[in-house]
Amino acid sequence: MHGYKRLLRYIARQWHWFAGIAVLTVASAASAALQPWPMKLLVDYALGDAELPPQLASGHAAASGDPTPAFLLFVAVGAHLGLFLLNSALTAALTLSWTNGGQRMVYDLASDVFAKLQRLSPLFHSRRSVGDSLSRLSGDTWCIYSVANGLLMSPLQRLATLGAMAAVGFALDPLLAALSLAAAPLLAFSARFFGRRLKQRAKRGRESSSRIASFVQQTFSAMPVVQAFSTEDRNREQLESLAEDAVEIALQGRLLNSAYGLVNGAILSSGAALVLVVGGFRVLDGAIPLGTLLVFLSYIRKMQGSAGGLFTIFAKLKTAEASIERLMEILECDQEVREAPNAKPLPATPSGKSGHVMLEDVSFGYEPRRPVLNGVTLEARPGEVVALVGPSGAGKSTLMSLIPRLLDPWQGRVLIDGSDVRMATLDSVRARTALVSQETLLLPMTVAENIAYGRPGASRSEIHEAAIAAQADAFIRRLPNDYDTVIGERGASLSGGERQRLSFARALLKNAPILLLDEPTAALDAETEAQLLEALRQIMEGRTTFLVAHRLSTVRDADRIVVLEDGRVVEIGSHQELLARRGAYERLYHAQFPPAAREVVA
């Protein structure tokens, strides 16, 4: 129920379209009720010898005497064509209104799902595939069409059709009208029976297309590995097997739908047969004219369908519920990192004094009872460079993620410039930090737009300055359209070092007082690293920097080196102090620089 309530909000926002659809629906039901009447006019009055109803006869007689059968035949054909045109115009207007209101509603919902997905933490995204999120965003959001139709428009349309036809039917012959509705409860039973099964099939169907989308997305994002390990054929087989499953599920769904259609068809046909038998005898007895029976036969499917459909709405909505559940999993998902209701921006600090970071007894884990960080206490004063070193999996990247509040600690506090980041607005915390990760993520935009990603309003000269400081200007100038080259297009794919320099420029332009560098040079060769370290030194100037590095040559000059092991701080000090202590750092150092090599480095 909650899911429906939430989706109704999106429908309400398009209320003007739905008001139009409601008017058109009622008009269309009235026009459908009129449709068999030209036939009655033709059979009973033009071809038969029934008395023309006084309303019709008097209208005509006033003008030009009794109508001839030929005249009535033309009137019947004219009315038939007129009703056809009216019906077509109403259908076209309804389709247009549905497309307009419906698509707006879908995109409105999709945009909220997109916004929520963007706010969910990296932890959430690491547990779900991009393909699955994409499939929920682009596929499941269409369920709102079914909700709008099933909850609002379909009942209205059915009630209007039923009301118009039942009113006419009961006026013509109450017995036949009652018989026309007799089969409706059976339709309700069949809807209940098939509804639950249809929902299960629909859910399995959505999950199987999600699996395909995830698999394709994962394969494309690992293309170099796919080709280097020649797994193309294996991947193709896997896709075929996933497709096989999808076909199987679709087939089961179709079979179930056909069975549902068959049962409904049998119920409707039995109802029609009943009306035909009783109505036939009434025509033979002379109780009603043939035209009246024709009107009933034309109404019966729609009347039964509309009455039964009022019960079947429940079943129809079941298929949409599979998608509603998948959407609610995102929309209602508890945001791990949530802005406090009374959050305030981090207080302004005088320049040069900004960028104080404090971690107080911080513990954190990705899974319950499996801490990755354990009671970490750490301070970085404005402008200091703090290096984090330690074995792989020690928790260095995790610690970095806590500072811009990409994750929240289980216990303890993270303070920036004296304020607990949990009490500050997310925007203000993120504005104070700039992250450069090992994996350089560039977007398919121009080089200039990529550099200005964190500050969209930046001027060209500011972008140039950042690129020059990050030693990126020279290679950018060699690109086909220099700063306007779109990354990824026309051979403008960049080397690892070039990409990393762009990400330095991006971080630099953001001009945040706290710089988080997570193994920024790990993927580069020693020579490129040496050049980049020079660029880095410029960028780090005057900023508090946290630097994760495996290569200890990178961290020797840091003000403080923090050695992490199994999520605990085991040593803190300068390079010289830690070497003198002859502990964990010295062991790491020896492993990388055996005595002979150390002399060269020193």
Rounded Cα–Cα distance for residues 144 and 366 (Å): 34
394 is a site residue for ligand ATP (CB under 6 A): yes
* Shortest distance in whole angstroms from residue 438 CB to ligand ATP: 7
Helix (H, G, I), strand (E, B) or coil at 440: coil
The residue range among 276-284, 351-359, 396-404, 583-591 that interacts with ligand ATP, by the rule CB under 6 A, is: 396-404
The residue range among 197-205, 212-220, 391-399, 447-455 that interacts with ligand ATP, by the rule CB under 6 A, is: 391-399
Phi, psi of 434 (to 5 degrees): -130, 130
* Shortest distance in whole angstroms from residue 251 CB to ligand ATP: 37
For residues 401 and 122, the answer to whether their CB atoms sit within 8 Å is: yes
9 membership: H or E segment, kind and range: helix 2-13
Which segments within 273-396 are labelled E, that is strand? 357-367, 370-380, 385-389
- Number of residues interacting with ligand ATP: please give it, by CB under 6 A: 12
* Shortest distance in whole angstroms from residue 205 CB to ligand ATP: 29
482/566 with CB nearer ligand ATP: 566
Phi, psi of 570 (to 5 degrees): -100, -25
123/297 with CB nearer ligand ATP: 123
* Contacts with ligand ATP, 313-352, as mask; x by CB under 6 A: ----------------------------------------
* Shortest distance in whole angstroms from residue 409 CB to ligand ATP: 13
The residue range among 299-307, 385-393, 493-501, 584-592 that interacts with ligand ATP, by the rule CB under 6 A, is: 385-393
125/460 with CB nearer ligand ATP: 125
DSSP 566-582: TTEEEEEE-HHHHHHHT
554 is a site residue for ligand ATP (CB under 6 A): no
156/570 with CB nearer ligand ATP: 570
Q: What is the spatial order of strands in the sheet that 370-380 belongs to?
A: 370-380, 357-367, 411-416, 419-420
437 is a site residue for ligand ATP (CB under 6 A): no
329/439 with CB nearer ligand ATP: 439
97: which 2 tokens? Answer: 């209104």
Q: Which of 121, 235, 363, 397 binds ligand ATP (CB under 6 A)?
A: 397
Residue with tokens 């596929």: 139
432 is a site residue for ligand ATP (CB under 6 A): no
Q: Which of 195, 279, 383, 395 binds ligand ATP (CB under 6 A)?
A: 395
Q: Which of 199, 282, 318, 396 binds ligand ATP (CB under 6 A)?
A: 396
Residue with tokens 């794919």: 493
Rounded Cα–Cα distance for residues 215 and 400 (Å): 30
* Shortest distance in whole angstroms from residue 320 CB to ligand ATP: 33
* Shortest distance in whole angstroms from residue 493 CB to ligand ATP: 25
For residues 252 and 156, the answer to whether their CB atoms sit within 8 Å is: no
| Window 176-235: residues binding ligand ATP (CB under 6 A) | none
210/398 with CB nearer ligand ATP: 398
54/368 with CB nearer ligand ATP: 368
491: exposed, middle or buried (Cβ count in 10 Å: 0-12, 13-18, 19+)? exposed
For residues 377 and 362, the answer to whether their CB atoms sit within 8 Å is: yes
* Contacts with ligand ATP, 440-459, as mask; x by CB under 6 A: --------------------
* Shortest distance in whole angstroms from residue 123 CB to ligand ATP: 5
Tabulate helix, strand, coil % of the chain (nearest 5): 65, 10, 25
What is the number of other CB atoms lying within 10 angstroms of the CB of residue 379?
14
DSSP 180-214: HTTTHHHHHHHHHHHHHHHHHHHHHHHHHHHHHHH
* Shortest distance in whole angstroms from residue 401 CB to ligand ATP: 8
CA distances from 510 to 32, 204, 381, 456 (A): 64, 45, 20, 10
26 is a site residue for ligand ATP (CB under 6 A): no
Name residues whose C-beta falls within 8 Å of residue 408's C-beta, 6 or more positions apart in sequence: 336, 337, 364, 402, 422
Rounded Cα–Cα distance for residues 390 and 372 (Å): 13
**Burial 340-350, CB ≥16 within 10 A → b, else e:** eeebeebeebe
84/366 with CB nearer ligand ATP: 366
393 is a site residue for ligand ATP (CB under 6 A): yes
Name residues whose C-beta falls within 8 Å of residue 63's C-beta, 6 or more positions apart in sequence: none
* Contacts with ligand ATP, 92-131, as mask; x by CB under 6 A: -------------------------------x--x-----
372 is a site residue for ligand ATP (CB under 6 A): yes
Q: Which of 59, 111, 366, 591 binds ligand ATP (CB under 6 A)?
A: 366
Among 421, 433, 426, 410, which Cα is nearest to 339's?
A: 426
* Shortest distance in whole angstroms from residue 218 CB to ligand ATP: 16
Interacting residues with ligand ATP (CB under 6 A): 123, 126, 366, 372, 390, 392-398
